[in-house]
Amino acid sequence: MSTSLEQRIPTIESIEAGLAGQGYITSRQIATALFLAVRLGKPILVEGPAGVGKTELAKATAGFLDLPLIRMQCYEGLDESKALYEWKYGKQLLYTQILKDKLGEQLRDAADLDEALGRLDKVDDIFFSERFLEPRPLLRALKEPKGCVLLVDEVDKADEEFESFLLEILSDYQVSIPELGTQYAKVIPIVLLTSNNTRDLGDAMKRRCLHLHIGYPDARREERIVATRIPHVQASLLRQLVHFVQQLRTQDLRKLPSVSETIDWARALILMNATQLDNQLVQDTLNVLLKFEGDMTSAGKLVGEMTHQALREAQGMAAK
Protein backbone atom coordinates (compact mmCIF):
# COMPACT_ATOMS: atom_id res chain seq x y z
CA MET A 1 0.00 0.00 0.00
CA SER A 2 2.76 2.39 0.87
CA THR A 3 4.33 1.83 -2.53
CA SER A 4 1.03 2.48 -4.22
CA LEU A 5 0.66 5.63 -2.16
CA GLU A 6 4.00 6.74 -3.53
CA GLN A 7 2.82 5.86 -7.01
CA ARG A 8 -0.32 7.87 -6.53
CA ILE A 9 1.72 11.00 -5.90
CA PRO A 10 4.62 10.55 -8.30
CA THR A 11 5.53 14.24 -8.42
CA ILE A 12 5.24 17.35 -6.32
CA GLU A 13 3.00 18.84 -9.00
CA SER A 14 0.56 15.96 -8.68
CA ILE A 15 0.12 16.81 -5.00
CA GLU A 16 -0.47 20.47 -5.81
CA ALA A 17 -3.11 19.50 -8.33
CA GLY A 18 -4.69 16.94 -6.03
CA LEU A 19 -5.00 19.34 -3.13
CA ALA A 20 -6.33 22.03 -5.43
CA GLY A 21 -9.03 19.52 -6.39
CA GLN A 22 -10.01 19.51 -2.71
CA GLY A 23 -10.21 23.29 -2.70
CA TYR A 24 -6.88 23.70 -0.96
CA ILE A 25 -4.46 25.99 -2.75
CA THR A 26 -0.94 25.03 -1.73
CA SER A 27 2.40 26.60 -2.07
CA ARG A 28 5.18 24.57 -3.59
CA GLN A 29 6.73 24.06 -0.21
CA ILE A 30 3.61 22.54 1.31
CA ALA A 31 3.35 20.07 -1.55
CA THR A 32 7.04 19.20 -1.20
CA ALA A 33 6.53 18.51 2.49
CA LEU A 34 3.79 15.99 1.76
CA PHE A 35 5.84 14.45 -1.00
CA LEU A 36 8.72 13.90 1.39
CA ALA A 37 6.54 12.76 4.29
CA VAL A 38 5.22 9.87 2.22
CA ARG A 39 8.65 8.89 0.95
CA LEU A 40 10.63 9.29 4.14
CA GLY A 41 7.86 8.09 6.42
CA LYS A 42 8.30 11.09 8.64
CA PRO A 43 5.76 13.24 10.42
CA ILE A 44 5.35 16.85 9.36
CA LEU A 45 5.37 19.48 12.06
CA VAL A 46 3.31 22.38 10.74
CA GLU A 47 3.80 25.72 12.41
CA GLY A 48 2.40 29.11 11.61
CA PRO A 49 -0.11 31.69 12.77
CA ALA A 50 -3.70 30.62 13.46
CA GLY A 51 -6.05 30.48 10.53
CA VAL A 52 -3.61 29.89 7.68
CA GLY A 53 -4.94 26.41 7.00
CA LYS A 54 -2.82 24.03 9.03
CA THR A 55 -5.71 21.81 10.04
CA GLU A 56 -7.30 22.28 6.66
CA LEU A 57 -4.19 20.81 5.05
CA ALA A 58 -4.73 17.51 6.86
CA LYS A 59 -8.36 17.40 5.83
CA ALA A 60 -7.56 18.15 2.21
CA THR A 61 -4.80 15.53 2.18
CA ALA A 62 -7.11 12.87 3.55
CA GLY A 63 -9.74 13.82 1.01
CA PHE A 64 -7.33 13.84 -1.89
CA LEU A 65 -5.70 10.50 -1.04
CA ASP A 66 -9.04 9.02 -0.02
CA LEU A 67 -7.73 7.98 3.38
CA PRO A 68 -9.54 8.24 6.70
CA LEU A 69 -8.62 11.25 8.78
CA ILE A 70 -7.97 10.53 12.43
CA ARG A 71 -7.81 13.66 14.49
CA MET A 72 -6.47 14.08 17.96
CA GLN A 73 -6.91 17.41 19.61
CA CYS A 74 -4.24 18.05 22.22
CA TYR A 75 -4.90 19.83 25.49
CA GLU A 76 -3.24 20.18 28.81
CA GLY A 77 -3.52 16.98 30.79
CA LEU A 78 -3.99 14.73 27.78
CA ASP A 79 -2.58 11.33 28.71
CA GLU A 80 -2.01 7.88 27.26
CA SER A 81 -5.43 6.53 28.13
CA LYS A 82 -7.07 9.30 26.13
CA ALA A 83 -4.57 9.21 23.28
CA LEU A 84 -3.56 5.60 22.88
CA TYR A 85 -5.87 2.99 24.39
CA GLU A 86 -8.00 2.16 27.37
CA TRP A 87 -9.41 -1.08 28.77
CA LYS A 88 -13.15 -1.19 28.72
CA TYR A 89 -13.32 -1.58 32.45
CA GLY A 90 -17.09 -1.63 32.71
CA LYS A 91 -17.44 -4.29 30.06
CA GLN A 92 -14.77 -6.39 31.71
CA LEU A 93 -16.66 -6.19 34.99
CA LEU A 94 -19.95 -7.02 33.35
CA TYR A 95 -18.52 -10.08 31.65
CA THR A 96 -16.99 -11.30 34.88
CA GLN A 97 -20.40 -11.05 36.51
CA ILE A 98 -22.16 -12.88 33.71
CA LEU A 99 -19.51 -15.55 33.49
CA LYS A 100 -19.45 -16.04 37.23
CA ASP A 101 -21.24 -19.36 37.04
CA LYS A 102 -19.03 -20.57 34.23
CA LEU A 103 -15.98 -19.66 36.24
CA GLY A 104 -17.38 -21.37 39.32
CA GLU A 105 -17.79 -24.58 37.31
CA GLN A 106 -14.25 -24.37 36.06
CA LEU A 107 -12.83 -23.86 39.48
CA ARG A 108 -15.05 -26.17 41.50
CA ASP A 109 -13.05 -29.34 41.00
CA ALA A 110 -9.71 -27.69 41.58
CA ALA A 111 -7.82 -29.53 44.28
CA ASP A 112 -6.32 -26.50 45.99
CA LEU A 113 -5.89 -22.75 45.69
CA ASP A 114 -2.76 -23.04 43.53
CA GLU A 115 -4.52 -25.10 40.92
CA ALA A 116 -7.50 -22.76 40.92
CA LEU A 117 -5.18 -19.80 40.38
CA GLY A 118 -3.45 -21.66 37.57
CA ARG A 119 -6.77 -22.18 35.83
CA LEU A 120 -7.74 -18.55 36.34
CA ASP A 121 -4.50 -17.50 34.72
CA LYS A 122 -5.54 -19.21 31.51
CA VAL A 123 -8.85 -17.40 31.58
CA ASP A 124 -7.77 -13.88 32.41
CA ASP A 125 -6.04 -13.52 29.04
CA ILE A 126 -9.51 -13.34 27.61
CA PHE A 127 -10.24 -10.26 29.64
CA PHE A 128 -7.21 -8.46 28.30
CA SER A 129 -7.79 -9.16 24.65
CA GLU A 130 -8.74 -6.89 21.80
CA ARG A 131 -12.35 -7.50 22.68
CA PHE A 132 -12.00 -5.29 25.71
CA LEU A 133 -9.58 -2.83 24.19
CA GLU A 134 -10.78 0.66 23.42
CA PRO A 135 -8.39 2.06 20.84
CA ARG A 136 -7.87 5.81 21.04
CA PRO A 137 -6.73 7.95 18.09
CA LEU A 138 -3.06 6.96 18.09
CA LEU A 139 -3.68 3.23 18.22
CA ARG A 140 -6.51 3.55 15.72
CA ALA A 141 -4.15 5.30 13.34
CA LEU A 142 -1.65 2.46 13.62
CA LYS A 143 -4.30 -0.20 13.07
CA GLU A 144 -5.93 1.42 10.06
CA PRO A 145 -5.51 -1.27 7.37
CA LYS A 146 -5.12 1.09 4.43
CA GLY A 147 -3.21 3.77 6.26
CA CYS A 148 -4.63 7.10 7.25
CA VAL A 149 -3.87 10.75 7.80
CA LEU A 150 -3.25 11.33 11.50
CA LEU A 151 -3.70 14.90 12.60
CA VAL A 152 -2.29 15.73 16.01
CA ASP A 153 -3.73 19.18 16.43
CA GLU A 154 -2.12 21.89 18.57
CA VAL A 155 0.58 19.65 19.94
CA ASP A 156 2.03 22.63 21.80
CA LYS A 157 -0.99 22.58 24.12
CA ALA A 158 -0.12 19.13 25.47
CA ASP A 159 2.39 18.61 28.27
CA GLU A 160 6.02 17.87 27.67
CA GLU A 161 5.57 14.33 29.00
CA PHE A 162 3.02 13.67 26.36
CA GLU A 163 5.31 15.09 23.74
CA SER A 164 8.03 12.59 24.56
CA PHE A 165 5.49 9.82 24.56
CA LEU A 166 4.36 10.93 21.13
CA LEU A 167 7.94 10.94 20.02
CA GLU A 168 8.30 7.26 20.82
CA ILE A 169 5.32 6.33 18.70
CA LEU A 170 6.16 8.58 15.80
CA SER A 171 9.75 7.44 15.47
CA ASP A 172 9.00 3.73 15.05
CA TYR A 173 5.27 3.68 14.38
CA GLN A 174 4.84 1.02 17.00
CA VAL A 175 3.58 0.96 20.51
CA SER A 176 3.71 -1.64 23.20
CA ILE A 177 0.66 -2.62 25.21
CA PRO A 178 1.91 -4.68 28.14
CA GLU A 179 -0.94 -7.20 28.02
CA LEU A 180 -0.97 -7.65 24.26
CA GLY A 181 2.60 -7.07 23.16
CA THR A 182 3.93 -4.64 20.61
CA GLN A 183 1.51 -3.27 18.06
CA TYR A 184 3.00 -2.31 14.74
CA ALA A 185 1.54 0.02 12.18
CA LYS A 186 -0.02 -1.90 9.34
CA VAL A 187 0.68 0.97 7.01
CA ILE A 188 2.71 3.97 8.09
CA PRO A 189 0.23 6.81 8.44
CA ILE A 190 0.80 10.31 7.13
CA VAL A 191 1.23 12.29 10.33
CA LEU A 192 0.65 16.01 10.60
CA LEU A 193 1.36 17.79 13.86
CA THR A 194 0.26 21.37 14.15
CA SER A 195 1.54 23.96 16.56
CA ASN A 196 0.63 27.56 17.22
CA ASN A 197 3.86 28.17 19.06
CA THR A 198 2.30 28.77 22.47
CA ARG A 199 5.40 27.05 23.77
CA ASP A 200 8.59 25.88 22.11
CA LEU A 201 8.51 22.24 21.23
CA GLY A 202 11.42 20.06 22.27
CA ASP A 203 14.45 19.73 20.04
CA ALA A 204 14.05 15.99 19.82
CA MET A 205 10.57 16.40 18.42
CA LYS A 206 11.67 18.95 15.86
CA ARG A 207 14.59 16.82 14.79
CA ARG A 208 12.37 13.87 13.99
CA CYS A 209 9.89 15.84 11.94
CA LEU A 210 9.92 17.66 8.69
CA HIS A 211 9.37 21.24 9.66
CA LEU A 212 6.88 23.16 7.58
CA HIS A 213 6.14 26.78 8.29
CA ILE A 214 2.98 28.09 6.68
CA GLY A 215 2.95 31.85 6.73
CA TYR A 216 0.43 34.30 5.36
CA PRO A 217 0.03 33.77 1.63
CA ASP A 218 1.03 36.39 -0.91
CA ALA A 219 -1.67 38.36 -2.69
CA ARG A 220 -1.89 36.04 -5.67
CA ARG A 221 -2.27 32.88 -3.63
CA GLU A 222 -4.69 34.52 -1.27
CA GLU A 223 -6.85 35.60 -4.20
CA ARG A 224 -6.91 32.04 -5.45
CA ILE A 225 -7.78 30.69 -2.01
CA VAL A 226 -10.68 33.11 -1.53
CA ALA A 227 -11.88 32.49 -5.08
CA THR A 228 -11.96 28.72 -4.48
CA ARG A 229 -13.91 29.16 -1.28
CA ILE A 230 -16.34 31.75 -2.57
CA PRO A 231 -16.67 31.10 -6.29
CA HIS A 232 -19.25 33.81 -6.91
CA VAL A 233 -17.12 36.70 -5.68
CA GLN A 234 -16.57 39.48 -8.19
CA ALA A 235 -13.02 39.56 -9.53
CA SER A 236 -12.56 43.29 -8.93
CA LEU A 237 -13.87 43.16 -5.37
CA LEU A 238 -11.72 40.10 -4.67
CA ARG A 239 -8.57 41.90 -5.76
CA GLN A 240 -9.43 44.95 -3.69
CA LEU A 241 -10.21 43.11 -0.51
CA VAL A 242 -7.15 40.91 -0.74
CA HIS A 243 -4.92 43.91 -1.29
CA PHE A 244 -6.49 45.62 1.67
CA VAL A 245 -5.87 42.65 3.95
CA GLN A 246 -2.31 42.36 2.67
CA GLN A 247 -1.71 45.97 3.68
CA LEU A 248 -3.33 45.43 7.03
CA ARG A 249 -0.82 42.65 7.72
CA THR A 250 2.06 45.06 7.39
CA GLN A 251 0.68 47.08 10.32
CA ASP A 252 1.78 46.56 13.88
CA LEU A 253 -1.26 44.76 15.25
CA ARG A 254 -1.79 42.39 18.13
CA LYS A 255 -3.57 39.83 15.98
CA LEU A 256 -3.05 40.00 12.25
CA PRO A 257 -5.98 38.92 10.10
CA SER A 258 -5.36 35.50 8.59
CA VAL A 259 -6.78 33.76 5.57
CA SER A 260 -9.86 32.51 7.35
CA GLU A 261 -10.67 36.09 8.29
CA THR A 262 -10.19 37.24 4.71
CA ILE A 263 -12.71 34.62 3.64
CA ASP A 264 -15.18 35.67 6.34
CA TRP A 265 -14.78 39.29 5.32
CA ALA A 266 -15.36 38.47 1.67
CA ARG A 267 -18.55 36.66 2.65
CA ALA A 268 -19.67 39.61 4.73
CA LEU A 269 -19.01 42.06 1.91
CA ILE A 270 -20.98 39.95 -0.53
CA LEU A 271 -23.89 39.77 1.89
CA MET A 272 -23.84 43.55 2.03
CA ASN A 273 -24.05 43.62 -1.77
CA ALA A 274 -20.79 45.49 -2.03
CA THR A 275 -19.25 45.80 -5.45
CA GLN A 276 -16.20 47.74 -4.39
CA LEU A 277 -14.49 48.89 -1.23
CA ASP A 278 -15.03 52.34 0.19
CA ASN A 279 -14.04 53.97 3.42
CA GLN A 280 -17.39 53.65 5.18
CA LEU A 281 -17.91 50.05 4.17
CA VAL A 282 -14.50 49.02 5.46
CA GLN A 283 -15.00 50.91 8.72
CA ASP A 284 -18.30 49.14 9.26
CA THR A 285 -16.95 45.65 8.61
CA LEU A 286 -13.51 45.99 10.14
CA ASN A 287 -14.60 43.94 13.13
CA VAL A 288 -14.68 40.86 10.91
CA LEU A 289 -10.96 41.20 10.31
CA LEU A 290 -9.70 42.49 13.63
CA LYS A 291 -10.45 40.92 16.96
CA PHE A 292 -9.05 43.44 19.44
CA GLU A 293 -10.33 46.86 20.37
CA GLY A 294 -6.83 48.32 20.26
CA ASP A 295 -6.23 46.94 16.79
CA MET A 296 -9.53 48.39 15.62
CA THR A 297 -8.70 51.91 16.73
CA SER A 298 -5.12 51.91 15.46
CA ALA A 299 -6.07 50.43 12.10
CA GLY A 300 -9.25 52.49 11.90
CA LYS A 301 -7.27 55.68 11.42
CA LEU A 302 -5.51 54.26 8.39
CA VAL A 303 -8.52 52.72 6.70
CA GLY A 304 -9.09 55.57 4.29
CA GLU A 305 -5.53 55.55 3.08
CA MET A 306 -5.33 51.78 2.83
CA THR A 307 -8.63 51.52 0.99
CA HIS A 308 -7.43 54.06 -1.53
CA GLN A 309 -4.19 52.19 -1.95
CA ALA A 310 -5.99 48.84 -2.32
CA LEU A 311 -8.24 50.27 -5.03
CA ARG A 312 -5.23 51.62 -6.88
CA GLU A 313 -3.28 48.38 -6.68
CA ALA A 314 -6.28 46.32 -7.73
CA GLN A 315 -6.77 48.59 -10.70
CA GLY A 316 -3.12 48.28 -11.57
CA MET A 317 -3.41 44.51 -11.46
CA ALA A 318 -6.48 44.57 -13.65
CA ALA A 319 -4.76 46.78 -16.20
CA LYS A 320 -1.88 44.35 -16.58
Based on the shown chain and the rule CB under 8 A, indicate whether residue 28 belongs to the binding site for another protein.
yes
Considering only the stretches 34-42, 86-94, 225-233, 269-277, report the one whose residues sit in contact with another protein under the rule CB under 8 A. 34-42
Q: Which is nearer to another protein, 42 or 239 (CB)?
A: 42
Near another protein by CB under 8 A: residue from 9, 24, 35, 266: 35
**Nearer to another protein (CB atom), residue 34 or residue 289:** 34
DSSP conformational letter for 155: G
Nearest approach, Cβ of residue 35 and another protein (Å):
7
Least distance from another protein to the Cβ atom of residue 308, Å: 32
**Residue 207 interacts with another protein (CB under 8 A): yes or no:** yes
What is the bridge-based pairing of β-strands 181-184 and 133-135?
unpaired
Which of 17, 36, 177, 296 is the binder for another protein (CB under 8 A)? 36
Rule CB under 8 A: say whether 212 interacts with another protein.
yes
* Residue 244 contacts another protein per CB under 8 A: no
- Helical segments of the chain, H only: 2-8, 12-21, 28-40, 54-65, 80-83, 89-98, 100-108, 113-127, 137-143, 160-172, 203-208, 219-229, 235-248, 259-271, 279-289, 293-300, 303-319
Question: Does residue number 14 form part of the binding site for another protein (CB under 8 A)?
Answer: no
Which of the 8 DSSP states describes residue 210?
E
37 vs 245, beta carbon nearer another protein: 37
Q: How many helices (H) and strands (E) does the chain have?
A: 17, 9
Complex with another protein: residue 200 or 284, whichever CB lies closer: 200
Q: Shortest approach of another protein to residue 108 CB, angstroms?
A: 60
d(CA 7, CA 17) in angstroms, rounded, equals 15
Give the helix, strand, coil percentages of the chain, each rounded to 5: 60, 10, 30
DSSP states of 119-154 as a string?
HHHHHHHHHTSGGGEEE-HHHHHHH-TT--EEEEET
Q: Which of 9, 12, 58, 188 binds another protein (CB under 8 A)?
A: 12
Say if CB 118 and CB 154 are below 8 A apart: no
Least Å distance, CB 88 to another protein, is 39
Closest CA to 296 of 311, 276, 282: 282
Q: Does 206 bind another protein (CB under 8 A)?
A: yes
Does position 274 bind another protein by CB under 8 A?
no
Q: What is the pattern of x (binds another protein, CB under 8 A) and - over residues 176-205?
A: ---------------------------x--
Per CB under 8 A, contacts with another protein among 40-79 are 40, 42, 44, 47
Question: Using the rule CB under 8 A, which residue among 5, 23, 32, 88 binds another protein?
Answer: 32
DSSP strand pairing (190-195 vs 69-73): unpaired
Kindly state the smallest distance separating residue 133's Cβ from another protein, in Å: 33
Distance of CA 83 to the CA centre of its chain: 15
What minimum distance in Å lies between the beta carbon of 302 and another protein?
Answer: 27
Measured CA to CA in angstroms, residue 298 lies from 61, 74, 99, 303 at distances of: 39, 35, 71, 9
Task: Pick the closer one to another protein by CB: 215 or 316.
Answer: 215
Give residues with Cβ within 8 angstroms of 124, minimum separation 6: none
Residues near another protein (CB under 8 A): 12, 28-29, 32-33, 35-36, 39-40, 42, 44, 47, 203, 206-208, 210-213
